[in-house]
């Protein structure tokens, strides 16, 4: 797996809402905004599933996803790709349910665990699309 740098982790923490992209088994794309994401370690991201419908279906068919980071609070633009596991029980799921309830007063229906497989520069310019990690 790929390990995010401390600067990348700070970018994630600074971003309030970010697009989360998936695709079905036949390649139909889907993008949703996410606002509940935790960096567990430099290669693991936890995402709360409070309202996913198509996203969850896509992740069951095709367990890969992409997160796009950009905004006035970041110092750059990143595209983070990863392999996803859906978790519906156990201590990690219970931990995420508690985090979501405390942070957003919402019910977390599922924990989406994303293991980072690649990070790309997506800022306009000659390095756009360049693999960073």
Residue range 6-121 in CATH 1.10.150.130:
no
Distance between CA atoms of residues 12 and 83, nearest Å = 18
**Mean pLDDT, rounded, of the chain:** 95
Question: What separation in angstroms does the CA of 14 have from each of 62, 83, 89, 91?
Answer: 29, 23, 29, 27
Torsion of CA 56, 58, 63, 69, to 10 degrees: -80
Torsion of CA 57, 27, 32, 62, to 10 degrees: 40
Does 1 have pLDDT greater than 80? Answer: no
pLDDT (tens digit per residue) in 32-85 = 999 999 999 999 999 999 999 999 999 999 999 999 999 888 878 999 999 999
Mean pLDDT of 8-15: 94
């Amino acid at each position: 797996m790929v390990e995010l740098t401390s600067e990348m982790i700070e970018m994630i923490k600074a971003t309030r809402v970010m697009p989360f992209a998936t695709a079905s088994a036949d390649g139909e794309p889907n993008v949703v905004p996410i606002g509940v994401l935790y960096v567990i370690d430099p290669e693991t991201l936890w995402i709360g599933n409070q309202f996913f419908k198509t996203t969850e279906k896509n992740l069951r068919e095709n367990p890969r996803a992409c997160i796009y980071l950009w905004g006035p609070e970041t110092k750059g633009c990143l595209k983070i790709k990863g392999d996803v596991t859906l978790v519906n029980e156990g201590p990690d799921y219970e931990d995420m349910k508690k985090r979501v309830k405390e942070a957003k007063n919402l019910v977390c229906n599922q924990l989406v665990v994303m293991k980072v497989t690649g990070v790309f520069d997506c800022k306009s310019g000659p390095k756009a699309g360049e693999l960073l990690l």
